[in-house]
Structure 1
């Protein structure tokens, strides 16, 4: 079977994402890398190492395929402390070189003055003695004096060439009048000119950079201002909190009201794990308090995922099991998960010829079972043996054992 794939299975079909992620995680563990990193994260590591090695920003931009150097600079230049230290070391080395040169010129200039004075005195003595060396000694004194001025001119040029000391930019606070002067479309430098200094802090996002300033003389003592700048360095939006007007009563809440729901936080984290790190298609996700234990913050996760329909029937069956390994390992990374119920959906054609997404497989694992499994050597087809609950929810025709490694030929709704 001819194929254009770089890596393929023996039958010419592509590897599933879960296979690649498992292999990558295995390599990381063998290499002693305990910090979690995705395959895509290697791209960021590569960029940082290039910059730390001294690669030009334009070169890194071309390798990453960014639309402009500004994007590369904003995303990567701030994350490496080595770059900052290297630049400061270069600055110090340069200024030290200037200082050594100036010291040498100062010494030579002083020597020229001494020589000039010496030959002037010698010329005066020669004149009193009426010898022939007066003119020669005066010319020598003049030459030494001219050399002094040359050394002095070079010394002054080095003094002017030395970079001025880097001054710490003042952190500004924004008053009511200054806030009213700030308009959309202004550049960051224009805003800094108005407020007289830099921001208190900043946060970088995919599409904009958020600059935070404290308010000054606002209607509330803890007033602050948020300015959102696009990556072209123009102001897109400004927000004041407690500077011009008091906060709404609806914004003032007790600590109990604002406390984040731990189950919602866990749900958001699981959704990020599965969609961003592993690119799964979530149909439904529920996180509920586990009523079967007395331990606080124990939760049960009920998850429904849609399997890939771009594979052969046999690949679908194997893919569900392999992807289940990745899913369970991701779920139980969260210590608050005590039990996980996983449903898989696939497009199923019923007896009337209509196709819709139906639950085809259900697997339930508890934390105790998960921790007893040796995941590196676990045969994913053994879920029916080790799982607390294992159900094949669709009758599969044309095979001896449904959803086994022999593969499935066709799915039919009962």
Structure 2
């Protein structure tokens, strides 16, 4: 609607320009006056309509404070969110059919440069996250140093447990199993079976993407830090989508100092 409004206004401006040009010749002067006055009148009416009815272009970019952040709830529409925060997001993008992501700047939060990310499916809010508004950012350098350090006397299970707990957010560990890799001639080479649950409410599409990313991250860390693991299989439950079933399985095999993907399998609704 706003695009049509803008195009029509541009057409009126062109009409005014043509009308002014027609004033040069005496034979077309009368029509030029009529055209100019007509287009100016329409532009004036459009301006008044926009000012009091449509209000195109009046919407400003809003910032979210900690107070307004706590008022935003899942299930709201984008228009409801805009009424709460006082305006539109600083950016928006299409994730997939029917799904949009809006990013707002934060204001008066714990850190400067804070942001709030909102995701909508069919104009219904289903994912809310913030960085630096009500929770502090983790220092990436310190995180890498602190969370990927493996203590020599820890068991492989303990090491994997630490890597999961320190690096994967909204994830709980159901079980970690280590089976000796009988296909290897070397002693103490294991197949690790890691059973995890992703506990954040989300859409199937985004849950699949996040579990894929987390699997790759964990495989990279285990490949680098735990040399005794030759094969890795990560099982994912997503309680919000299905309380009991394993919905995703990612299998990796060692290739030198890192793991490479060997197989991926998904069950509905992640398929």
Q: TM-score, normalised by structure 2?
A: 0.44
Question: Which structure: greater strand fraction?
Answer: 2
Question: Which structure: greater helix fraction?
Answer: 1
Q: Which one has more relative contact order, counting CA pairs under 8 Å at least 6 apart? A: 2
